[in-house]
């Protein structure tokens, strides 16, 4: 069968022309970086910086008086796994060059906020010296590859993590500018014939139309929100051995207010692949995005639109054509939760691990709760401990011996960090993006707003006799969906200062999108909006029915019909077994 022809764009977008003009992605970054008089990078360099893991921002709290330019730097931390020494390095960099906080992202990475241009070069070089990187943490390339971090379910997690590293290397861009600028501290020689003719061997001269996200997950725990990724590998495990992966393609959260051509989408599961072919399938899916993605309209440039418009069957055929027919029929699996295991637990290798709740992912020191100082001391005193970042913005301390449990508890207690009953059920299940004052896209508050709002919703729940009921609540300052709001049971999506869209109906397993219930509500009116909804849930719920399931059943009954049909279809797939978690 001949290959289908990619659509030839009538006119490339501005970003596409920038990439074609300089496929090295170097621009004038080196020149501006070494110029003490230059306050900021130019627009073209801003776009190139994203490929290097950097966003140029300004403090929006100060805009009324003067613009204060600063940088957000995101690490590339495959699978969210860090050594104790790497944690110390990141802690030092946050203190010396950032705003003295570490921000855990929803993709198992760490962001530095408030970094001035003068500290940018040193910060990125030291990250690389720690054997981590920032390359491809942002930009129109494959970004940080995520993988389930919790070691309580199956020994196959280590195998899955190793596979995620393989995929990260297979999909990494090869730009020569990154090491020239940040490691060697030299200006890229644009007159060099090799530099002049550089084209990335995988991505081509203008890389991808937009970002690309890949992830690995181990059922029954969907802690990666696998269906929100462009490419997802769902492990099929038997006897602590990975038999292979179901391949999911075409997920994504981003949308724009008022633009019905943009929407969140769940990935389609298109087949099963053996572990030895995962890189081949990964490159096939990525190059389909490269060849068929929209390069004229960046709002329509994600892979999800290719899959939606051409169909999952077409995607299956095209992946098989590019990979040598390595996809076979989907294996049976089931998800039950997206949450983390808080507190102390026993790993399957016999060691202990401890999951610590981090409010909205922000690690900092505040009176009575010095989490940043606590984790720094943990890294210094227990160098064998492994730090793992969860996609729910929490920290897992793994590889802990039984002998170290008591002294570790004492250390954390000294800093006001709880190990038991760390947070209420609503706080523990909540998530927010940074939004104001750092994100240039934010329309409303998110990280600074959500904890107080959760307190208010808890109070409302207590008044209604719903205290202790878990509801997954997420907020974002704009519709781009960095905190995966469209998977939540209740979501607040910023529309304007103090105003949000209200979305309802996601589920605990991360297998259903929610929907807009009300287009605009005031932040001050949220209790008024939620009170009748929660009251109705209490009075009319089925036995132990969660709020998201209730909302979907009552407000969008066609969703329940579709889910029943999907559940029936699963029964025809081949079975697979997965171990249950162990705990102390």
Per annotation, catalytic residue among 213, 331, 512, 546: 213
Domains of the chain: 343-420 (3.90.480.10), 427-570 (3.30.413.10)
- Give the sheet arrangement for strand 499-504, strand by strand: 431-432, 473-476, 490-496, 499-504, 515-522
In order, the DSSP letters of 186-248 are: ----TTSHHHHT--BTTTBTT--SS-B-EEEEBTTB-TT-GGGSSEEEEEEEETTEEEEEEEE
Per annotation, catalytic residue among 304, 433, 474, 512: 433
Sign of the four-CA dihedral 137, 139, 142, 146: positive
CA 433/CA 200 separation, integer angstroms: 32
User: pTM value?
Assistant: 0.95
Q: Please give the pLDDT value at position 576.
A: 43
CA 303/CA 292 separation, integer angstroms: 8
End-to-end CA distance of the chain: 56
Per annotation, catalytic residue among 478, 484, 512, 546: 478
Sign of the four-CA dihedral 513, 516, 520, 525: negative
Q: Under 8 Å CB-to-CB from 431, ≥6 apart: which residues?
A: 106, 360, 361, 392, 393, 474, 475, 483, 484, 488
From 268, 260, 273, select the one nearest 323 (Cα to Cα).
273
CA 295/CA 301 separation, integer angstroms: 6
Per annotation, catalytic residue among 103, 157, 210, 211: 211
CA 333/CA 222 separation, integer angstroms: 11
Q: What does the pLDDT profile of the chain (584 residues) look like in tens digits?
A: 345 565 556 689 999 999 999 999 999 999 999 999 998 999 999 999 999 999 999 999 988 888 889 999 999 999 999 999 999 999 999 999 999 999 999 999 999 999 999 999 999 999 999 999 999 999 999 999 999 999 999 999 999 999 999 999 999 999 999 999 999 988 887 778 888 889 999 999 999 999 999 999 999 999 999 999 999 999 999 999 999 999 999 999 999 999 999 999 999 999 999 999 999 999 999 999 999 999 999 999 999 999 999 999 999 999 999 999 999 999 999 999 999 999 999 999 999 999 999 999 999 999 999 999 999 999 999 999 999 999 999 999 999 999 999 999 999 999 999 999 999 999 999 999 999 999 999 999 999 999 999 999 999 999 999 999 999 999 999 999 999 999 999 999 999 999 999 999 999 999 999 999 999 999 999 999 999 999 999 999 999 999 999 999 999 988 767 776 665 555 444 444 333 334 33
138 is catalytic: no
Structure tokens at 408: 């570790």
In order, the DSSP letters of 377-433 are: HHHHH-TTPEEEE-TTS-EEEEEE-GGGHHHHHHHHHHTT--SSS-S-HHHHT-EE-
Q: Please give the pLDDT value at position 64.
A: 82
Q: Using an 8 Å Cβ cutoff, are 1 and 314 in contact? A: no
Per annotation, catalytic residue among 362, 482, 484, 495: 482
CA 578/CA 308 separation, integer angstroms: 31
Q: Using an 8 Å Cβ cutoff, are 306 and 292 in contact? A: yes
Q: Under 8 Å CB-to-CB from 11, ≥6 apart: which residues?
A: 296
In the numeric block, the tokens 């330019």 are attached to 69
Q: Please give the pLDDT value at position 7.
A: 57
Q: Please give the pLDDT value at position 344.
A: 98
Strands 69-74 and 54-58: antiparallel
Phi-psi region at 544: left, alpha or beta (left = phi > 0; alpha = psi -120 to 50): left
CA 506/CA 491 separation, integer angstroms: 9
Structure tokens at 373: 């100082």
Q: Under 8 Å CB-to-CB from 135, ≥6 apart: which residues?
A: 51, 52, 53, 76, 172, 173, 175, 178
CA 244/CA 235 separation, integer angstroms: 6
Q: How many residues does the chain have?
A: 584
Q: Please give the pLDDT value at position 501.
A: 98
Per annotation, catalytic residue among 117, 362, 439, 484: 439
Per annotation, catalytic residue among 19, 50, 74, 107: 74
439 is catalytic: yes
Per annotation, catalytic residue among 107, 143, 304, 546: 143
213 is catalytic: yes
CB atoms near residue 61 (< 10 Å): 11
Q: Please give the pLDDT value at position 569.
A: 59
């Amino acid at each position: 069968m001949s290959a289908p022809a990619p659509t030839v764009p009538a006119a490339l977008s501005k970003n596409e022309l920038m990439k074609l003009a300089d496929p090295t992605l170097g621009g004038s970054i080196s020149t501006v970086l070494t110029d003490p008089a230059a306050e900021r990078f130019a627009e073209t360099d801003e776009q190139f910086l994203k490929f290097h893991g950097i966003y140029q921002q300004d403090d929006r709290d100060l805009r009324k008086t003067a613009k204060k330019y600063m940088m957000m730097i995101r690490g590339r931390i495959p699978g969210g796994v860090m050594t104790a020494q790497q944690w110390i390095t990141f802690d030092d960099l946050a203190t010396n060059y950032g705003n003295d906080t570490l921000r855990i992202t929803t993709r198992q990475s760490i962001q530095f906020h408030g970094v001035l241009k003068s500290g940018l070069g040193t910060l990125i070089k030291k990250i690389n010296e720690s054997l981590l990187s920032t390359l491809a943490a942002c930009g129109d390339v494959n970004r940080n590859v995520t993988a389930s971090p919790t070691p309580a379910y199956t020994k196959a997690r280590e195998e899955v993590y190793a596979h995620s590293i393989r995929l990260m290397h297979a999909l990494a861009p090869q730009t020569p500018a990154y090491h020239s600028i940040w490691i060697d501290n030299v200006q890229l020689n644009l007159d060099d014939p090799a530099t002049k003719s550089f084209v990335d061997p995988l991505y081509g001269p203008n890389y991808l139309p937009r970002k690309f996200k890949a992830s690995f997950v181990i059922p029954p725990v969907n802690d990666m929100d696998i269906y929100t990724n462009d490419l997802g590998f769902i492990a099929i495990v038997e006897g602590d051995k990975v038999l292979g992966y179901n391949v999911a393609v075409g997920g994504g959260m981003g949308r724009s207010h008022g633009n019905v051509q943009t929407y969140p989408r769940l990935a389609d599961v298109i087949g099963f692949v053996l572990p030895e072919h995962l890189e081949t399938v990964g490159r096939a899916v990525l190059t389909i995005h490269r060849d068929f993605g929209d390069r004229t309209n960046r709002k329509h440039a994600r892979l999800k639109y290719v899959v939606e418009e051409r169909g999952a069957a077409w995607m299956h055929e095209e992946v098989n054509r590019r990979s040598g027919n390595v996809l076979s029929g989907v294996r049976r699996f089931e998800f039950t939760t997206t949450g983390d295991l808080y507190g102390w637990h026993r790993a399957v290798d016999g060691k202990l691990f401890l999951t610590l709740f981090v409010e909205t992912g922000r690690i900092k020191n505040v009176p009575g709760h010095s989490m940043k100082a606590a984790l720094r001391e943990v890294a210094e005193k227990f160098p064998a401990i492994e730090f793992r970042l969860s996609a729910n913005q929490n920290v897992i301390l793994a590889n802990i011996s039984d002998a170290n449990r008591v002294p570790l508890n004492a250390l954390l207690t000294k800093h006001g960090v709880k190990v038991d009953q760390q947070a209420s059920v609503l706080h523990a299940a909540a998530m927010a993006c940074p939004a104001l004052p750092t994100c240039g896209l934010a329309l409303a508050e998110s990280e600074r707003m959500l904890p107080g709002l959760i307190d208010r919703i808890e109070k409302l729940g207590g008044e209604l006799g719903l205290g202790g009921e878990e509801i997954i609540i997420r907020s974002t300052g704009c519709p781009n969906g960095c905190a995966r709001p469209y998977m939540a049971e209740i979501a607040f999506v910023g529309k304007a200062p103090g105003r949000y869209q209200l979305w309802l109906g996601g589920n605990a397993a991360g297998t259903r999108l929610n929907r807009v219930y009300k287009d605009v509500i005031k932040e001050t009116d949220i209790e008024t909006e939620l009170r009748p909804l929660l009251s109705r849930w209490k009075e009319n719920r089925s036995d132990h029915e969660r709020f998201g399931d209730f909302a979907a059943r009552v407000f969008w009954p066609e969703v329940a019909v579709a889910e029943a049909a999907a559940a029936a279809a699963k029964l025809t797939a081949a079975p697979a077994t997965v171990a249950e978690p162990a705990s102390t």
